[in-house]
């Protein structure tokens, strides 16, 4: 079952406190980008945010699952109605991903 565009728009709106968040249709579902950094997917109307060591340290009890068969685990965000935690996790994740990418480019 594909995600509904109204759910995707709602999630993007809820995460706006983390930066400039946009969605892009990818592989029949949606990829999410914050300030140009790919950090999450929405599959079957469920938000999955990439796992980083920094994200795990900040939110060790978040559930994890793959977004689709064959995928690595991601954080499963079960409640996007109260965006406080998801916004903070998005900030932490994107900062960690940008830092890792920057370090790879220096090598």
Q: Spell 50-65 as b/e; 16+ CB within 10 A means b.
A: bbbebbeeebeebeee
pTM for this model (two decimals) = 0.93
pLDDT tens, residue by residue, 78-107 = 999 999 999 999 999 999 999 988 877 776
In angstroms, the CA 24 to CA 26 distance is: 6
5-106 CATH, one of 3.20.20.70, 3.30.1460.30, 1.20.120.450, 1.10.287.10? 3.30.1460.30
According to the model, what pLDDT value does residue 101 have? 85
95 vs 39: CA distance, rounded Å: 10
Domain borders along the chain are 5-106
């Amino acid at each position: 079952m594909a995600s509904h565009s109204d759910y995707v728009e709602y999630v993007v709106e809820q995460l706006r406190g983390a930066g400039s968040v946009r969605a892009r249709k990818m592989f029949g579902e949606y990829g999410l980008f914050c300030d140009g950094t790919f950090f999450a997917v929405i599959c079957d109307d469920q938000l999955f945010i990439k796992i980083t060591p920094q994200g795990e340290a900040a939110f060790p009890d978040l559930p994890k699952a793959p977004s689709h068969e064959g995928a690595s685990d991601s954080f499963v965000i079960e409640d996007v109605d109260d965006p406080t935690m998801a916004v903070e996790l998005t900030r932490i994740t994107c900062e960690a991903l940008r830092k890792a990418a920057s370090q790879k480019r220096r090598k």
